[in-house]
Amino acid sequence: MTIRIAVDGTELEGRDGQTIAGVLIGAGRRSWRSAAGAERGVFCGIGVCQDCLVTVNGVEGVRACQRTARDGDVIEREAR
């Protein structure tokens, strides 16, 4: 089943069961957050490094590598 999420206003498609990071990487995005002036994305992929933090449906600090994407999710970049 195909799901759709909005990332900074752009709609992306993914597969049911993929993580948010999986959908982003599948769409060709390697970074989606900035910290201390550097771009960040998935580094560890297991929820330890916190490089992949995003805001999901208004909730800040969600690890994109751990959160399963759900149809209709609204994802926003974070800058810390």
The whole-model pTM stands at 0.91
Longest CA span, the chain:
38
- Domain count for the chain: 1
Q: What is the pLDDT of residues 5-62, one digit of tens each?
A: 999 999 999 999 999 999 999 999 999 988 888 899 999 999 999 899 999 999 999 9
Sheet containing strand 38-40, edge to edge, reads: 38-40, 33-35, 78-79
Q: What is the pLDDT of residue 79?
A: 72
Q: Give the CATH number of the domain where residue 73 resides.
A: 3.10.20.440
Range of the domain at 61: 2-77
